[in-house]
Amino acid sequence: MKITLKDTIHADLSKPIDISLPLSNTEKNPIAWYIEKPQIEPVRFGSWVGSVRGGATTNFNNIFFNPHGHGTHTECLGHITKDFFSINQVLKTFFFTAELISIQPEKIGEDFVITKNQVEKALGNAIPEAIIIRTLPNLEEKKSKNYSHTNPPYLHEDAAILIREKGIQHLLIDLPSVDKEKDEGKLLAHKAFWNVKDVNNLNDDARKNATITELIFVDDDVEDGSYLLNLQIASFENDASPSKPILFQIS
């Protein structure tokens, strides 16, 4: 099946490129923010266990997880604001032009940082609706890494401002956060991207329809360049939802 967008973009939907990380109750599940692995287990009512192996007619599991700390997720500005905003209400369209760029963060002091100059150079003249940042080196351990207390790379505030000023609405990255792990609550890149000046009294020009997706993984065999992005979320009335971003090659 093929679709055409705006009479200029042709995408083959039969060849999806999944850049999400699955959620599991194993040690292979990626973790951030000092929490334990997800729990997926059968419901229990007395001696009844919601498992076919346990004698039930169906598998009937509870799942306990945190969208921010347990895998690929998409969040809205409600992640950092006093007022409640739901990703399910913010994200209402799901196909976007996207540019995949690969960047090796620069060493600045004790940190590794994605800078404005790096983003600007990698994007060139492209002004997509979504930007996807793959950090280098692109190690397989990203798929199962426990990021807690590791000071992962992050996005410099100026780079987030550049992305915002280019009008890019959706930012996807293969890190647990666009911000420094321990930043004393400053959240400079989040605030810059969403244009949030005061989390307690939201400014009128805050970018309520923009989203950030974290903890993706893009295989090495996926080349940098332009794609069609399908950004799928679960219908949670929450600031964030587990998500499944899918890329399609375009022509």
Angle at CA 236, nearest 5°, toward 235 and 239? 125
Confidence of residue 251 (pLDDT cuts 50, 70, 90): confident
pTM of the model: 0.95
Q: What residues contact 244, with CB distance under 8 A and at least 6 apart?
A: 18, 20, 72, 232, 233
Q: Which two tokens stand for residue 184?
A: 């004393």
Instruction: Give the model's pLDDT for residue 1.
Output: 45
- Backbone φ, ψ for residue 193 (5° rounding): -65, -45
Instruction: Give the model's pLDDT for residue 2.
Output: 47
- Strands 95-103 and 130-135 turn out to be parallel
pLDDT at residue 4 greater than cutoff 60:
no
Instruction: Give the model's pLDDT for residue 130.
Output: 98
Rounded CA separation 242/233 (Å):
6
Q: What domains are there in the chain, each with its CATH number?
A: 2-23+68-249 (3.50.30.50)
Q: Which residue has the tokens 């899918």?
A: 246
- Strands 17-18 and 211-214 turn out to be unpaired
Dump pLDDT digits (tens) for 20-74.
999 999 999 999 999 999 999 999 999 999 999 999 999 999 999 999 999 999 9
Number of other CB atoms surrounding residue 67 within 10 Å: 24
Confidence of residue 7 (pLDDT cuts 50, 70, 90): low
Number of other CB atoms surrounding residue 44 within 10 Å: 13
Mean pLDDT score, 138-155 = 98
Q: What residues contact 120, with CB distance under 8 A and at least 6 apart?
A: 162
Dump pLDDT digits (tens) for 92-108.
999 999 999 999 999 99
Confidence of residue 5 (pLDDT cuts 50, 70, 90): low
DSSP letters for 167-232: T--EEEESSS-SS-SSSTT--HHHHHHHT-S-TTS--TTS-TT-EEEES----TTS-SEEEEEEEE
Confidence of residue 9 (pLDDT cuts 50, 70, 90): confident
Instruction: Give the model's pLDDT for residue 49.
Output: 97
Instruction: Give the model's pLDDT for residue 175.
Output: 98
Mean pLDDT score, 75-93 = 97
Per-position b or e across 5-43, b if 16+ CB within 10 A of its CB: eeeebebeeeeebebbbebbbeeebbbbeeeebbeeebe
Dump pLDDT digits (tens) for 210-241.
999 999 999 999 999 999 999 999 999 999 99
- At 241, the amino acid letter reads S
Rounded CA separation 29/165 (Å):
35
End-to-end Cα distance, the chain: 14
Dump pLDDT digits (tens) for 180-209.
999 999 999 999 999 999 999 999 999 999
Number of other CB atoms surrounding residue 51 within 10 Å: 16
